Amino acid sequence: MFCKNCGKEIDNNADVCIHCGVATEKKSLDNPSHLTGAVSCCFPVVGLILYFLWKDEKPQSASLICKWMIGGTVAWVILYVLCFVVGFIGNL
């Protein structure tokens, strides 16, 4: 990337320009989305894949996906148990 102040090329991970000392403006690509979280809630396999894809480059998004995925898995397990119990009681 290039320094906004002096225009010289600097490292992409630099916090300040090594030439002029001005702080760099890093653009955060890690903007967690609840839409992807909701998808991973309904389809935990998608959440697992997204977690492993994003865990290093987008840690906040990966954390949010993991929470939605765990919540969705718990909800599915509760739903299956309730269906089993209702079906078992209905056959008595």
CA 59 from chain centre, in angstroms, equals 6
| 49 and 86 assigned to the same domain | yes
**What is the Cα–Cα distance from 67 to 25, expressed in whole angstroms?**
30
Q: What is the dihedral of CA 60, 63, 69, 72, to 10 degrees?
A: -90
pLDDT band at 81 (very low <50, low <70, confident <90, very high): very high
Q: Percent of the chain beyond pLDDT 70?
A: 96
The whole-chain average pLDDT of the chain stands at 86
Which residue type sits at 55? K
- Examine the pLDDT at 27 and tell me if it is beyond 60: no
| 22 and 39 assigned to the same domain | no
Q: Is the pTM of this model over 0.75?
A: no
pLDDT band at 83 (very low <50, low <70, confident <90, very high): very high
Q: Which domain holds residue 75?
A: 34-90
Number of folded domains that form the chain: 2
Average confidence (pLDDT) over 17-34: 79
CA 37 from chain centre, in angstroms, equals 7
* Cβ count near 69 (within 10 Å): 22
| 52 and 85 assigned to the same domain | yes
- Examine the pLDDT at 29 and tell me if it is beyond 70: no
| 10 and 39 assigned to the same domain | no
